[in-house]
Amino acid sequence: MIHVIIIILLSVVMIVMAFVAIHHKNLQVAVIASGIISLFASVIYIFLAAPDVAITEASIGSVITVSIFFYVLNKIRHEDIKK
């Protein structure tokens, strides 16, 4: 029963973070919100007894994608400063 409650709470937080990622003006906050969505999805996968999917989601969705987004945002910001 506690697993169901935790999954529902994580799902609600994921929905809230999705709205934050879509509607926030700051790109860094939107990227962090999408990383949180991916991280909570990996926790839900662990509760659903899919550890292989959870590890893949955590490594690709949370770490690599957010890192690439921040790298690109940093590059864009430096190119704007040079111009």
Question: Could you read off the pLDDT of 35-77 as tens digits, one per residue?
Answer: 999 999 999 999 999 999 999 988 888 889 999 999 998 888 8
pTM, full prediction: 0.83
CB 40 within 8 A of CB 10: yes
Q: What pLDDT digit, counting tens, does each position of 9-41 carry? A: 999 999 999 999 999 999 999 999 999 999 999
The domains of the chain are located at 2-82
25 CB-side CA count, 13 A: 0
The pLDDT, as a whole number, for residue 68 is 93
